[in-house]
Structure 1
Amino acid sequence: MPDLHLFQRRADPPPAKVNAVTLTVSGTVLWIVATVVVGVLEMLGRVPENWVDVCFVGRGDGVVGCAGLRPRVPEAPPGRLSRPPRAGLQNFARTGTKRAPEVFY
């Protein structure tokens, strides 16, 4: 009888090359179109009421997904500053202004 290795670890497949932003935005647009279509069909009495709820949840998931895919600042390589130094009191004293400099991170 041959020796079967049913639980043998295989190499991981390569990652898929997909533009996540395009995929998420197009999926959200499809859910919006589906909401309109199902809403019209519901007004005609052709589909159950909860189908519109499913479309609203799909739209909400898409919006949350789009918000999670906003561009992020890449991490700095080791040994470098990850962000510019803050404007300290030295710069505040040199400017002669009455208010602290605005620094956004």
Structure 2
Amino acid sequence: VTTEAPATTTSAAPAVTTVPTTPQAVAPKTTAPKPKAAPKSTAQAAPAPTACGADYYRNSDGNCVHRPSDNPSGATALCKDGSYSYSQHRSGTCSGHGGVRTWL
């Protein structure tokens, strides 16, 4: 009885060479801040207000109103300092004149 030894085959894997790598410093990414866009408005821009006359001022509604004076014609309040106010709102009426003495 003869037995044959099994044939042994060896396959050689291809040689792999690796190059050692050194970690490289990477600068952090920086981005410039983006400028904020102006809010979009659906309303049309109001025209630039024109100057009020010498004895007038622009109130919170954008209307020209007569400055407090000593003329009671058309006044809405008498201020504590004796001047008359032509204010269209109670808020701030006669401010700088001691407040309201009497509403007209």
> TM above 0.5, one fold?
no
The structure in which a higher percent of residues are helix is 1
Name which one, 1 or 2, has greater alpha-carbon Rg. 2
Tell me: higher relative CO, structure 1 or 2? Use CA pairs within 8 A at least 6 residues apart: 1
The structure in which a higher percent of residues are strand is 2
Q: TM-score, normalised by structure 2?
A: 0.20
